[in-house]
A = this chain, B = another copy of it.
């Protein structure tokens, strides 16, 4: 049974509630003086804890002057007036004057810096720089150059394209076609600056009963990805429907042989069946490259 609710005069908005309501609609804003990637990552992690809501996401990036902050304020207030509910704002603004503008919004503001920087200042006994973060110098940093170099490395050493310079790899991922090697290599490069080559295990290797010859000198850098044959068949089917390549029998054979080679070579490996790229990448980091990463 719907009911009409009259909000206080200041807002001048009517909206409808119901005892058996349709999903609550809210606008979500990610506001940042940079790309907004931090605000979004943060916001998504928090919002996945809430189910059954009808959320509409909006990214407001590069809010680095008062005009842009006023634009953001106008968009947020407009949402409040349209929906009669406070929008939720994830903010990573650090500039105090831009922040003051944002905080005047009719919204629930979840502010990374209020929540974390202010308490940290106290704990560390030092003032924060209140700058826009490191993103403005990022292009010149060593970290950033390593990431770009690692992306180029991953592309040049994708799918066994080149055995040249495998000695420069931090890790060499091996596995059957479509076990997740390429996206994992790229993610390791892009996120962590790790040089990951990847090398396929193919029927010729299974016939010889040995890992590819080119990999012999790099046994210690090898990390295997495996996958449930049923899942592999699905993934391959999307690429080449009704092929021998995608048949369940062939997938079973290849996975079994690949796992046999990895066991025989004492190669660490994991099953990617239910894991996202991010999870595979972090597992490789944590279980395999931990010495380097810590």
Contact = CB atoms under 8 A, between A and B. Distances in A.
A38 B35 contact: no
Interface in A42-96: 42, 44-46, 48-53, 57-59, 61-62, 86, 88, 92, 94
A138 B48 CA distance: 11
Contact of A48 (B36, B50, B133, B148): B133
Nearest to A148: B183
B38 A116 contact: no
Nearest to A108: B123
Contacts of A86: 123
A119 interface: yes
A117 B278 contact: no
A36 B124 contact: no
A286 B37 CA distance: 12
A12 interface: no
Nearest to A26: B124
Best-surrounded residue of A24, A61, A94 (most CB of chain B within 10 A):
A61
A151 B37 contact: no
Contact of A41 (B42, B117, B128, B138): B42
Interface in A153-197: 155, 158, 182-183, 186-187, 190-191
Interface of A: 24, 26, 34-38, 41-42, 44-46, 48-53, 57-59, 61-62, 86, 88, 92, 94, 108, 110, 112-113, 115-117, 119-120, 123-126, 128-131, 133-136, 138-139, 144, 147-148, 151-152, 155, 158, 182-183, 186-187, 190-191, 273-279, 281-283, 285-286, 293-294
22 contacts: A34-B279, A38-B42, A42-B112, A45-B92, A46-B117, A48-B134, A49-B128, A49-B131, A52-B126, A59-B285, A59-B294, A61-B282, A61-B286, A115-B115, A139-B274, A139-B275, A155-B158, A155-B182, A183-B190, A186-B186, A186-B190, A187-B190
Given A35-B276, A59-B285, 9 more contacts: A35-B281, A35-B282, A45-B133, A46-B116, A49-B113, A50-B124, A110-B115, A115-B115, A152-B182
